[in-house]
Amino acid sequence: MAIGRPPPSLATRSLLGRSATMEEAEIPLDPPDGITDPVDRAQFWDRHASPISFLILGSLVAAAVTGHFGGQPSPRVDADFGLARLSVLTPTVIRNGEFFETAIDIRADEPLTDATLAVEAGLWRDMTINTMIPAAAEEKYKDGEYRFAYGPLEAGETLSVKIDGQINPPLFAGNEGVIAVYDGERLLGRQVFRIKVLP
């Protein structure tokens, strides 16, 4: 009877099988289709959002905050015509379809027999004027202007007019025109205004 090495026990066979499996696991495998070396050499910005997108977004936010897209308080424009002073508070940048408010003060430095506010028609092109308070004693259209006569003003007295309107959809880019002050038919002064309308 030949004497040989005894057969390995169950525990020994288990260890041998595990060792073989670990050796197989260490064998390098080919990467899947589409996965190549350039992935290993990817740059920082290939794995993150592009800085250009942050610059564009930041520029848009900064423009909105500074009022380039409208929504900021209306600037006040003052003009001294000698016999009277004009003060206008109205938006200069506004978006299409928005409502707006215009406040106009006419202060008489000398007595006026018939203080008259005039708005050039081009300034209100494609706009709807909803209310105008107080109502004028007389309204008319003359020489390309809407004229609103309010009667006499004493020296030092101020006429305050509030106008509410809305930008109509066809208006694009904006309007330009003048707001003027008359004493009856006598022109006291004119001030140019520009309103920029965004989509």
Average pLDDT over residues 53-74: 59
85 residue type, one letter: R
Tokens of 75: 């600037």
196 near 174, Cβ under 8 Å? yes
Q: What's the Cα-to-Cα distance from 153 to each of 113, 150, 183, rounded to whole Å?
A: 7, 8, 10
Listed in sequence order, the residues at least 6 apart from 192 whose beta carbon sits closer than 8 Å to its beta carbon are: 176, 177, 178
List Cβ neighbours of 154 (8 Å cut-off, separation of 6 or more).
108, 111
Fold that domain 76-198 belongs to in CATH = Immunoglobulin-like (2.60.40)
Can you give the residue ranges of every domain in the chain? 76-198
Q: Name the pLDDT band for 48 (thresholds 50, 70, 90).
A: low
Q: What is the 8-class DSSP label of residue 25?
A: H
Average pLDDT rounded to a whole number, residues 47-62: 62
Record the pTM. 0.66
Average pLDDT over all residues of the chain: 81
Q: Who contacts 17 (Cβ-Cβ below 8 Å, separation ≥6)?
A: none
Instruction: State the pLDDT at residue 9.
Output: 53
Average pLDDT rounded to a whole number, residues 127-136: 96
pLDDT in tens, 141-174: 999 999 999 999 999 999 999 999 999 988 888 8
CA distance 151 to 21: 105
- Above 60 in pLDDT, residue 114? yes
Average confidence (pLDDT) over 113-136: 97
Question: 8-29: per-residue pLDDT in tens?
Answer: 554 455 544 555 454 555 556 6
More confidently predicted of 8 and 191: 191
